[in-house]
């Protein structure tokens, strides 16, 4: 008989994608998973048999939702690192485990030390490995090595949704994902050359599209004014659109991680984040730039051309 397990998902789309191998390991070891996190998680994991509990923003409402879903003493695993997320589960009377971060050890039934590799700068641990290691120590025993690629399942209706979104767009297309929400250490996470890249591709006869997320339409239109803007779609359909493209060019963002997870041909651009920690978990994706400097426009154009010509 499988054991019930509440898994508190990361709050960001990219991290939720990078947690997929950890979730698959937990499910393979016989746990009946319920995913607790942001409402979009139901779209991302629509093809999986895991119920998704959408957590409200208000703490009292979150705690009430968790109590209503699971009886006291139900096991829970925190993929988040914050004190607040551990407090939520403790107040919901769940038996929660996780990394001993942010002074939350007293709240945890099992507090696991952060892996030593995570603290190394010379050969840092990737976020996929960070989540997978937590799942490994939680289940115990021997486990297979972390897979070299993500493999996000998509529901059948995602392909139909992608065809509908692309209605009237003939031939292959390049998907540009120019928006990256928030800042990293005070620095903008988005490359500033997407508009010029869009013009370069359009001038060469390449169909360029972009698919804004919720609230991003104006920002995407301003960043790539020459692109065809697709309608807003759910995350599973977005994954199908990425998978069906000739090439995806993205910042280090949630869109890049979804692209990696569905096996899209991918070029990810870095300028403020460390690709060794948060780059796409893919054996085929190309990374340009570094945590210190964005790649030059010429380097990006050359790589895009190489990718399209080698298709």
pLDDT at 269 over 80: yes
Q: Any residues with CB less than 8 A from the CB of 135 and at least 6 apart, and which?
A: 21, 22, 23, 25, 26, 77, 143
**Residue 246 reports pLDDT greater than 80:** yes
Is 1's pLDDT higher than 60?
Answer: no
- Is the confidence at residue 27, as pLDDT, over 70? yes
Mean pLDDT of 5-17: 97
pLDDT over 80 at 62, yes or no: yes
Q: Which is nearest to 22 in space by CA: 99, 94, 83, 74?
A: 99
How confident is the model over 144-176, as pLDDT tens digits? 999 999 999 999 999 999 999 999 887 899 999
Say whether pLDDT at 197 is over 60. Answer: yes
Provide the pLDDT confidence category of residue 202 given band limits of 50, 70 and 90. Answer: very high
Half-sphere exposure of 269 (CA within 13 A, CB side): 28
Q: Tell how strand 183-184 and strand 174-177 pair up.
A: unpaired
Q: Mean pLDDT, to the nearest integer, of 198-212?
A: 97
Banded model confidence at residue 311, pLDDT cuts 50, 70, 90 = low
3-state secondary structure the chain: CCEEEEEECCCCHHHHHHCHHHHHHHHHCCEEEEEEECCCHHHHCCCCCCCEEECCCCHHHHHHHHHHHCCCCCEEEECCCCHHHHHHHHHCCCEEEEECCCCCHHHCCEEECCCHHHHCCCCCCCHHHHHHHHHHHHHCCCCCCCCCCCCCCCCHHHHHHHHHHCCCCCCCCEEEECCCCCEECCEECCCCCHHHHHHHHHHCCCCEEECCCCCCHHHHHHHCCCCEECCCCCHHHHHHHHHCCCEEEEECCHHHHHHHHCCCCEEEEECCCCHHHHCCCCCCCEEEECCCCCCCHHHHHHHHHHHHHCC
Question: Which pLDDT score, from 0 to 100, does residue 171 have?
Answer: 82
Average pLDDT over residues 88-104: 97
pLDDT at 60: 97
- Kindly report the length of the chain: 311
Give residue 2's pLDDT. 78
Q: Is the pLDDT of residue 120 over 90?
A: no
Q: Which of 74-88, 167-181, 224-238 has the lowest mean pLDDT?
A: 167-181
> Which domains does the chain show, CATH number per domain?
3-139 (3.40.50.2000), 156-309 (3.40.50.2000)
> pTM of the full predicted structure?
0.96
User: Which strands sit side by side in the sheet containing 3-8, from one edge to the other?
Assistant: 52-54, 31-37, 3-8, 75-78, 95-99, 110-112
The pLDDT score that the predictor gives to residue 239 is 98
Q: How confident is the model at residue 104 (pLDDT cuts 50, 70, 90)?
A: very high
For residue 95, name the pLDDT band (cuts at 50, 70, 90): very high
Predicted confidence at residue 67, as pLDDT, reads 97
């Amino acid at each position: 008989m499988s054991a019930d397990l509440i898994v508190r998902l990361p709050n960001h789309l990219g991290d939720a994608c990078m947690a997929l191998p950890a979730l698959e390991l937990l499910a393979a070891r016989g746990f009946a998973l319920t995913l607790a996190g942001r409402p979009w998680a139901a779209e991302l994991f629509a093809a999986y048999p895991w119920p998704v509990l959408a957590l409200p923003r208000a703490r009292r409402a979150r705690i009430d939702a968790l109590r209503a879903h699971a009886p006291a003493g139900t096991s829970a695993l925190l993929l988040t690192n914050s004190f607040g997320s551990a407090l939520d589960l403790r107040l919901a009377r769940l038996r929660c485990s996780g990394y001993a971060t942010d002074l939350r050890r007293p709240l945890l039934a099992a507090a696991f030390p952060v892996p030593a590799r995570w603290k190394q700068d010379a050969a840092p641990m990737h976020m996929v490995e960070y989540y997978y290691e937590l799942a490994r120590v939680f289940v115990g025993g021997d486990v297979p090595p972390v897979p070299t690629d993500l493999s996000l399942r998509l529901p059948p209706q995602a392909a139909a949704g992608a065809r509908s979104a692309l209605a009237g767009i003939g031939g292959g297309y390049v998907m540009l994902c120019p928006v990256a929400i928030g800042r990293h250490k005070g620095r903008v996470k988005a490359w500033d050359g997407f508009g010029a890249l869009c013009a370069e591709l359009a001038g060469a006869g390449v169909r360029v599209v972009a698919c804004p997320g919720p609230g991003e339409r104006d920002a995407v239109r301003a960043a790539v004014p020459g692109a065809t803007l697709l309608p807003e779609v759910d995350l599973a359909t977005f994954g199908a659109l990425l998978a069906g493209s000739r090439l995806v060019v993205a910042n280090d963002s949630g869109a890049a991680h979804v692209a990696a997870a569905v096996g899209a041909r991918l070029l990810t651009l870095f300028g403020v984040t460390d690709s060794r920690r948060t780059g796409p978990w893919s054996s085929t994706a190309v990374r340009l730039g570094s945590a210190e400097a964005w790649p030059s426009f010429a380097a990006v154009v050359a790589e895009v051309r190489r990718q399209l010509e080698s298709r």
